[in-house]
Structure 1
């Protein structure tokens, strides 16, 4: 079944995060309390008043649509198979997020922090570290995407401070994780779901996200569906103008012994229109160790997961979805 239902804001709240930038600790803790409720409930929520320039967002979507409209041979020039760092173009049906399902009905483009060939992390062969690929026919593509990456890194670090406060931890608890952080701007294009296609094939199969935080900017075409544990069914996470959908990734779940949720979600584009979205995957410092936060354990409870580095975790996730 590809259907989902629409629900009230109580299930997927819109949280005004302006207070995270306030000099007042009380303002920051007020936002953190709302984050805590959402993280305990579903790990999915919207954020508003985030400070990202709407003109820049519009430029990102315009460049993404223009790139995906290029001839196949031009897109192939920057195919991510040419990159040792998983950067560049991902062809249609290049990933299978849902085990046992057909490949996803989407094409994408990966962009991350730029690392020169002589960067020690590149020389050491650290996973996903390296240079980006840029389409020659789109001269504005690179500066737009680099500007967006930079400001989204700042927003993500601010959100991690809010997550720390929501767990009654020092605001800088995740500072090491946020230092030299890895992240991906991922441009995605979903064609309309075929009328008589395989019902098991979706724009993106049901999955949880790999890393720390995902901050998703949607265009004006919906399709994101979130698994609701309470009802045992899928609910829509429709676009809300000017906002981001934020969800927790598997690493936050590991850190909190699953008290904060990394929730299944998928994309089903039944609109009859082309769908574009831009998730920002905040992965953190690949050398950082993720291990259960002691205060997240109930009395007598043991950690569910062994300690793991961000790099080890990300290698395993890519191997699972890119066979």
Structure 2
């Protein structure tokens, strides 16, 4: 598979010939996205340049990009976004560097910051404690799956810093210099991008552009730093084993930053087969979560995805070792007290609301409580 380096500070020009087979730039017009995703051989994740939305001088110009984004979430549930200058490449590089430094800390040091409350959703999660899952699975099914095939990753969970009840769990400054300030700056820039993308989604769903602004402004988000340590291939050979099992995300959007190792796979909603979502320089992978799907009455898709092991390096005649992998996920959420009910433009007499009203907190805390041991 084509190996693509993580974005650097220099600008990247995206040529169609260099893109992974399952990605299409916005200018592709030979067939529609809806047609292409019905076959694994033509399945693609749309690549959208957000520059035109940010620089637009009229609502009609914004609407063209908004329609592309909404169409990507309708048909695939995922898009690659480029032109996202709100988050500089230097900032992303620094976050990866500080994340790697954190995970190299002794287990005893990280263990003092252990995750312990699904309402807070803050702190360190050791390898094997989490088992991500599908929204349809029961707590008992998730517990059985966690025992059989826990996710082979560790993570650090960071929430908004000014929460009135819950506090982030930070390492000491002498243990991880500049870790805290780096992550707080990144948290804010991710929120700013989330706000702009949600404005484009509002336009694409025939809502006022600022429709979501007051429903997402408290920044009840979750920044997750992820480390996938090297692992012997024999440990990944069991039924259901994966670096991160098939799952959907909980909130509105997820902003995913990948390193060059790769391993993310997206389920084709039509064939149910998984397709690679390879790293592309200068882009962020963005997918719709369960609450955005629910808000849109399933007009937008919360698509299953997973992380599989990349090709391993042979260490014996019968054994291999997968490379380490890093990624950073910013899980965007509505305000925790926001009432999530089907949007007026996504329902009709012939397509009534499928879901009862639920608050963000009720939904997310319930999912988190079932996810962790």
Task: Check whether TM > 0.5.
Answer: yes
1:186 aligns with 2:224: yes
The 8 Å contact of residues 72 and 79 in structure 2, kept in 1 or not, is answered as yes
1:304 aligns with 2:340: no
1:281 aligns with 2:315: no
Aligned counterpart in structure 2 of residue 206 of structure 1, from 239, 243, 246: 246
Once the two structures are TM-superposed, the CA of residue 230 in structure 1 deviates from its matched residue by 2.7
Which deviates more from structure 2 when the two are superposed, residues 76-85 or residues 226-235?
Answer: 76-85
2:125 corresponds to which residue? 90
Once the two structures are TM-superposed, the CA of residue 171 in structure 1 deviates from its matched residue by 0.3
Aligned counterpart in structure 2 of residue 80 of structure 1, from 96, 112, 115: 115
Aligned counterpart in structure 2 of residue 293 of structure 1, from 327, 332, 343: 343
Number of aligned residues: 308
Aligned counterpart in structure 2 of residue 27 of structure 1, from 34, 47, 61: 61
Aligned counterpart in structure 2 of residue 42 of structure 1, from 69, 73, 76: 76
The DSSP-based 3-state class of the residue aligned with 1:147 is helix
The DSSP-based 3-state class of the residue aligned with 2:48 is strand
Which deviates more from structure 2 when the two are superposed, residues 291-300 or residues 305-314?
Answer: 291-300
Once the two structures are TM-superposed, the CA of residue 81 in structure 1 deviates from its matched residue by 2.7
Once the two structures are TM-superposed, the CA of residue 299 in structure 1 deviates from its matched residue by 3.7
1:251-290 alignment, distance < 5 Å = 251-271=291-311, 272-290=322-340
What is the distance in 1 between the residues matched to 2:325 and 2:23? 23
Once the two structures are TM-superposed, the CA of residue 132 in structure 1 deviates from its matched residue by 0.8
What is the distance in 1 between the residues matched to 2:177 and 2:233? 37
Give the direction of change, closer, same or farther, for the CA distance of 1:84–1:298 in structure 2 (3 Å limit): closer
The 8 Å contact of residues 97 and 206 in structure 1, kept in 2 or not, is answered as yes
The 8 Å contact of residues 227 and 325 in structure 2, kept in 1 or not, is answered as yes
Q: Deviations over 1:27-58 (max 9, x none)?
A: 21111011121011011010001011111111
The 8 Å contact of residues 212 and 252 in structure 1, kept in 2 or not, is answered as yes
2:153 corresponds to which residue? 106
The 8 Å contact of residues 176 and 288 in structure 1, kept in 2 or not, is answered as no
The DSSP-based 3-state class of the residue aligned with 1:235 is strand
Q: Which runs of 5+ in 2 are unaligned?
A: 1-19, 25-32, 34-43, 134-141, 312-321
Give the direction of change, closer, same or farther, for the CA distance of 1:298–1:84 in structure 2 (3 Å limit): closer
What is the distance in 2 between the residues matched to 1:143 and 1:28? 34
1:131-210 alignment, distance < 5 Å = 131-136=167-172, 137-197=175-235, 198-210=238-250
The 8 Å contact of residues 202 and 211 in structure 2, kept in 1 or not, is answered as yes
Once the two structures are TM-superposed, the CA of residue 84 in structure 1 deviates from its matched residue by 6.8
The 8 Å contact of residues 20 and 158 in structure 1, kept in 2 or not, is answered as no
Structure 1 segments (4+ residues) deviating >6 Å: none
The DSSP-based 3-state class of the residue aligned with 2:221 is strand
The 8 Å contact of residues 217 and 335 in structure 2, kept in 1 or not, is answered as yes
The 8 Å contact of residues 192 and 269 in structure 1, kept in 2 or not, is answered as no
RMSD: 1.8
What is the distance in 2 between the residues matched to 1:254 and 1:232? 20
Q: Deviations over 1:39-84 (max 9, x none)?
A: 1101101000101111111110001111111111111121223897
What is the distance in 2 between the residues matched to 1:276 and 1:189? 5
What is the distance in 1 between the residues matched to 2:370 and 2:217? 27
1:13 corresponds to which residue? 46
Once the two structures are TM-superposed, the CA of residue 8 in structure 1 deviates from its matched residue by 4.2
What is the distance in 2 between the residues matched to 1:240 and 1:298? 39
Q: Give me the TM-score of the superposition, normalised by structure 1.
A: 0.91
1:66-77 alignment, distance < 5 Å = 66-77=101-112
Which deviates more from structure 2 when the two are superposed, residues 216-225 or residues 74-83?
Answer: 74-83
